Amino acid sequence: MSYIVGHPIKHPADFYGRHEQITRFYEIIGGRQAQSVSILGLRRAGKTSFLQYVAHPDTMAHFLPNPDEYTMVYVDMSSCKTPSDFYHRLLQRLKVSMGRAKTDFLWKESPQGQTKLYDVEAYLCHFPDTRIVLLLDEFDHLRTEAFTQDFLTELRAMTGVLDYDLACVTASYWDLYTLGTRMGLPPTSPFYNIFYPTPIYMSSLELTEATSLIDTPAAKGGVTFSEDEVREIQELAGSLPFFVQATAAKWFRHKRAGSAPEAEEARQQLAADLAPYFDQWWHNLTSNERTILLAVTGERPLTDLDFSPLELDGIVRRLHSYGLLYMADEEAFINGRIFRTWLRQYAQLEATTAAAKPASGAELARIRHALVDSFDLDELRTLCFDLGMDFESLPGQSKPAKAREMVNYWRNRHDLTRLTEAIRYERGDIV
C-alpha cells in the first residue's frame, strides 16, 4: 500500500506539505536564542508526524545552517505516568543522543523512580554549546493527577538555566492556557512567557499539498488518478492529511482492481468507517463550537446565532485553525463531505434524543450517586476536563454539589449519554 494511514510518518520522503508550519518552526527554534513553541491540532491532524519530520537529520540539514549544534529529543508524554518517570525517560534519551557526560564533580544520578529535575540539569550543564529542543508529544496527557502545576513550573525553570540552551516544543489539542488552568496554574504564571506568542496549528493542507499527497503515492504504486478523481477525493476527504490518505487509499484499491468506487457509496461508507475519529473531535469541542459546526452543516446564517460578533469570529477562527472549517468568500464551510455527512447524521440523532422522554428523577439520582461514590474531587475535575467542561465554573464547592451540577449541565443539553459514557469509560458499567 502506497498510502500510510494511521501510523506516524517516519521517513521524510513520505511527508507531504506543512511548508509554512515547518518554516515557522525553524524560525522560532533556530534564532539567536532558544524559544519554546506550542503545536496545536486535532487528533489525527499529524502532530506526531510533524515532530518526527522536523527532528529528522535530513530535514534539520535543509533548514538549519549548523544542524550539528542542535539535538532534538522526542518524548511521548502519554507514556509518562509521573514527573519522575518523565525525567528518567528524558535523561536516558539525552544520553543516547548526546553521550555520557564526563563529570568533574561528584554527582550520583538518582535511582529509577526517583529521578528529579536536578538530574537532568546536572547532565545538561556539560553541553553548553548544544541547543537542546525537547519535543513533548501528547502534552495534554499531563491532566492526570500525578502532574500538577509544580511540574509546569519546573519545565519553565529548566528553560531558564544559563549553563545550557534548551527549548520546549509541546504538541497537544488543548492550548497551554486551557491545560494550565485545568492543572491549577494561574494565568499570570511565568510558564506561559517562555512560549512563542502564537502557536503553530496543524491546520488544513494547501490545495497543491493535498493534490501531491493524493497523486504521488498512487503513482509510486503504479496508479494514475484523473483530475476528476483527484477533485472527487478532495471534496470528500477535505484537506486534513489522515482523511485525504484514507479516502485516496480507497480509490487506489479500486483502481488497482480495475474499477472505481461510486462516490456516494464511498461517502456513506467512509463516514461510518471514520466515525470514531469524528467522535473524538466532538468529544473535545465546546458546546459553542458544536453549535457553530451544526449551523454551518445546516446552512444556517451564523449571524442568526446568539453570539456577539467578536465571540463568533473567535470561534470560527479557532475551528478554521484546526481544519474543521474552511473559508471561501468570507463564508464558512465544513471541511470535507465525509465529515459533513457525519455531522448531519449526528444532528439528526441529537434531535431525536432531544425529543425523547427526559430522564427520570431516579435515573438522574443514579448518575449523581455514581459520581459521588466512585470519584474523588480531583477525579471529577479530570472528568470535566475530558468532557470539555469548566469544573471551576460549576456552582458549589463540595463533591456532591459539583456532581449534581455536572448531571444538571448535561441534562439541560439533552446529552446525558456523553456523561454516562465517560463514567463507564473510567469506572465500568456502574450507571
40 lies in the same domain as 112: yes
Task: Let me know if residue 181 belongs to a domain.
Answer: yes
201 contacts 41 by C-beta, under 8 angstroms? yes
pLDDT of residue 19: 95
Task: Let me know if residue 412 belongs to a domain.
Answer: yes
**Cross-strand pairs, 64:** none
220 contacts 256 by C-beta, under 8 angstroms? no
137 lies in the same domain as 216: no
175 lies in the same domain as 213: no
47 lies in the same domain as 194: yes
103 lies in the same domain as 125: yes
Give the predicted TM-score (pTM) of the model: 0.82
pLDDT of residue 349: 66
126 lies in the same domain as 255: no
Q: How far is CA 160 from the centre of its chain?
A: 27
pLDDT of residue 158: 92
pLDDT of residue 387: 84
261 lies in the same domain as 292: no
pLDDT of residue 106: 47
Report, as ranges of residue numbers, the positions in the chain whose pLDDT lies below 50: 104-106
User: What are the pLDDT digits (tens) for 346-384?
Assistant: 776 665 555 556 778 888 999 999 999 999 888 898 888
Longest CA pairwise span in the chain (Å): 74
Q: Residue 236's domain spans which residues? A: 207-269
169 lies in the same domain as 263: no
230 contacts 214 by C-beta, under 8 angstroms? yes
Task: Let me know if residue 5 belongs to a domain.
Answer: no
User: What are the pLDDT digits (tens) for 138-184?
Assistant: 998 887 768 889 999 999 999 988 889 999 999 999 999 988 887 88
Q: Which of 223, 252, 269 is the last residue of a domain?
A: 269
User: What are the pLDDT digits (tens) for 231-246?
Assistant: 999 999 999 999 999 9
Number of domains in the chain: 4
Distance CA 55, CA 49 (A): 10
Task: Let me know if residue 13 belongs to a domain.
Answer: no
pLDDT of residue 131: 94
pLDDT of residue 431: 72
CATH classification of the domain holding 73 = 3.40.50.300
pLDDT of residue 103: 52
222 lies in the same domain as 335: no
77 lies in the same domain as 183: yes
Task: Let me know if residue 55 belongs to a domain.
Answer: yes
343 lies in the same domain as 369: no
113 lies in the same domain as 153: yes
Three-state SS for the chain is CCCCCCCCCCCHHHCCCCHHHHHHHHHHHCCCCCCEEEEECCCCCCHHHHHHHHCCHHHHHHHCCCHHHEEEEEEEHHHCCCHHHHHHHHHHHHHHHHCCCCCCCCCCCCCCCCCCHHHHHHHHCCCCCCEEEEEEECHHHHHCCCCCHHHHHHHHHHHCCCCCEEEEEEEECCCHHHHHHHCCCCCCCHHHHHECCCCEECCCCCHHHHHHHHHHHHHHCCCCCCHHHHHHHHHHHCCCHHHHHHHHHHHHHHHHCCCCCCHHHHHHHHHHHCHHHHHHHHHHCCHHHHHHHHHHHCCCCHHHCCCCHHHHHHHHHHHHHCCCEEEECCEEEECCHHHHHHHHHHHHHHHHHHHCCCCCHHHHHHHHHHHHHHCCHHHHHHHHHHCCCCHHHCCCCCHHHHHHHHHHHHHHCCCHHHHHHHHHHHHCCCC
pLDDT of residue 346: 77
Among the listed residues 386, 303, 305, 297, the one whose alpha carbon sits nearest the alpha carbon of residue 345: 297
Distance CA 201, CA 173 (A): 10
User: What are the pLDDT digits (tens) for 299-319?
Assistant: 999 998 888 999 999 999 999
